[in-house]
Amino acid sequence: MSLKARINRIIKFSNVDGPGNRMAIFFQKCNFNCEYCHNPETIKSCIHCGKCVEFCKSGALEKVDGIIKWDKTKCCECDQCIKNCSIDSSPKTLEYSVEDVIEEIDKVKFFIKGITVSGGESSLSFEFITLLFKRVKELWPHLTCFVDTNGGVDFQLEIYKEFVEITDAFMLDVKAWDLKEHIELTGVSNENVIKNLIYLERIDKLFEVRTVVVKDILNNILTVENVSKIISNKYIRYKIIKYRPFGVRADKIEKLKSPSQEEQENLEKLANNLNVKSTLII
C-alpha cells in the first residue's frame, strides 16, 4: 500500500521529544487552532492557490499542474512564503511514503533511542504512522516509537486500536481543564483530551503530559491540579511549559503573556504536593 503523508519537517536529533536523543517527525495539519501556536503554518494544508510563488526570491517554488512544488535545495529558508500565505499555511512540506521516512531513520539509527511523531497533529495521520511504526519495529526492535499529540481524537475508538497498540508511549498536551477556556484557546472541546489522559494513564502508555502556562487568561492552577491528580500514581512526567512568544501569530501576541518564574515554581510545587513523581518547568 502506497500511503503517503505530508510532512512539514524532520529533525534528526531532538532532545525534547521524549527520552534520549530522537528523530522527530512533524506532520502537517492540525485539528486544533491554538492561539499560542508556535508553528501556525503547520495547522492547515496548502490549497495550492499559488500566492506564495511570487514572494519567493530564490526560485524554490513553482506551480506544476495546479500543485505547488517546493525545491528544498534552492530554498534559503527566508520564510517569505509562509509570511505571505493566503491561509497561514506553508508550501514547504514534502510528501513521504513510509519507506521514505524509513530511509531517513536509517541514516541516524545509531544515534537515537527512537522516533517521535509530532505535528501539526500527528494522530490525524494515524494510518500512516501505524504502518511506519510497524516497519520500525521490524527493522530496529530497539528503537521506541512515541506519539506527541493534542489528544483531540478519541483513542478508544475502534479505528485507533492498532495505532495505540503499536505506539510505545504518548506525550499528551493538556492545554486547559476548563471547557470554555479550552474552546476559546484551541477552538475545540477538551472532552477527548481528558478522556485520553485517563485512558492512556490506565493502559500505561503515557510518558509525559505537557501544559503551556499563559498568564491571566488561563486558570493554570485548575489545570495543573487536575492533571496532577490523575498522573500522580505512576512515573509520568509533567512538563509545565512557560508560554513564550516565538513564532506566534502577530495578531495573537498582544493578549498572551508569559508567567513569572515564581508562578512556574508554584505550579511545580502544586504538582509535587499532589505526588507527581517527575516534574519539569521550562
Partner 1 sequence: MILETIKSQNITFEQKVVALARLAEGSIEVLNKSESLKKYIEDGIICDLFEGNAPYRPRYIVPDYEKFMEQGSKFLNIEKPTNLWEAVHALLILYKHVPSITTMPVYLGNIDYLLEPFIKDESEAYLAIKLFLKHVDSTITDSFCHANIGPRETKAGFLILKAMRELELPTPNLTIKYNDETTEKLATEAIQTALVTAKPSFANDKMFRDDFKGEYGIVSCYNGLKVGGGANTLVRVRLGGLSKLATSKEEFLEKTLPEVSKEMLEYIDERSKFIIEESGFYESSFLIKEGLLEKEKFTGLFGFVGLAECVNNLLGAEAQEDRFGYSEKANKLGLEIVEKMSAIVKGHKTQYAGEFFGNTHLLHSQVGIDTDRNESPGCRIPVGEEPEMFNHIIYSAPFHQYCPSGIGDIFVFDETFKSNPEAILDIIKGAFQNNMRFFSLYSNECDVIRVTGYLVKKSEMEKLDKGEQVLRDTTILGKGARDNAKALARKLRSE
85, with CB counted inside 10 A (0-12, 13-18, 19+), is buried
CA-CA-CA-CA torsion sign (168, 18, 281, 122) = negative
- Is residue 21 near partner 1 by the rule CB under 8 A? yes
Query: By CB under 8 A, is residue 280 in contact with partner 1?
Result: yes
Per partner kind, with CB cut-offs from 5 to 8 A, the member of ligand SF4, partner 1, none near residue 157 is none
222 binds, among partner 1, ligand SF4, none (CB under 5 to 8 A by kind): none
If the CB atoms of residues 27 and 199 are measured against ligand SF4, the closer one turns out to be 27
- Grouping H, G, I as helix, E, B as strand and the rest as coil, residue 229 is helix
CA atoms within 13 A on the CB side of 250: 3
Neighbours of 104 (CB within 10 A): 16
Region label for 247, one of left (φ > 0), alpha (ψ between -120 and 50) or beta (otherwise): left
Our finding on whether 235 is near partner 1 (CB under 8 A) is: no
Tell me which residues in 85-114 interact with partner 1 (CB under 8 A).
Answer: 107-108, 110-113
**109 makes contact with ligand SF4 (CB under 6 A):** no
Cα atoms in the 13 Å half-sphere on the side-chain side of 39? 16
Choose the contact partner of 210 out of ligand SF4, partner 1, none; CB within 5 to 8 A by kind: none
To the nearest 10 degrees (0 to 180), the angle between helices 191-202 and 220-231 is 30
* DSSP secondary structure code for residue 89 in this structure: -
Kindly state whether residue 76 participates in binding partner 1, applying the rule CB under 8 A: no
DSSP state of 15: S
110: partner contacted, choices ligand SF4, partner 1, none (Cβ within 5-8 A by kind): partner 1
Q: Choose among partner 1, ligand SF4, none what residue 19 binds, the Cβ cut-off being 5 to 8 Å by kind.
A: partner 1
User: At closest approach, how far in Å is the CB of 41 from ligand SF4?
Assistant: 8
**To the nearest whole angstrom, how small is the minimum distance from the Cβ of residue 200 to ligand SF4?**
34
Q: Which is nearer to partner 1, 203 or 235 (CB)?
A: 235
Q: Is 95 in the site for ligand SF4 (CB under 6 A)?
A: no
> Residue 45 corresponds to which cell in the numbers above?
494544508
Instruction: Read off the C-alpha cell for 128.
Output: 500512516
In the complex with ligand SF4, the residue whose CB is nearer, 45 or 279, is 45
Alpha-carbon gap, residue 20 to 233, rounded angstroms: 23
For ligand SF4, the closer CB: 52 or 171: 52
Q: Return the one option of partner 1, ligand SF4, none that residue 69 interacts with (CB less than 5 to 8 A, by type).
A: none
Q: Do 212 and 175 touch, CB atoms closer than 8 A?
A: yes
Q: How many residues bind ligand SF4, per CB under 6 A?
A: 28
What interhelical angle do 126-139 and 98-108 show, nearest 10? 40
Q: How far apart are CA 104 and CA 6, in angstroms?
A: 15
Name which of residues 23 to 82 contact ligand SF4 (CB under 6 A): 46-52, 55-56, 58, 60-61, 68, 70, 75-81
Q: Considering Cα of 161, then 189, then 6, then 77, what sign does the dihedral take? A: negative
Residue 89 interacts with ligand SF4 (CB under 6 A): yes or no: yes
- Residues that bind partner 1 in the complex, under the rule CB under 8 A: 11-16, 19-22, 107-108, 110-113, 280, 282
- Residues that bind ligand SF4 in the complex, under the rule CB under 6 A: 46-52, 55-56, 58, 60-61, 68, 70, 75-81, 85-87, 89-92
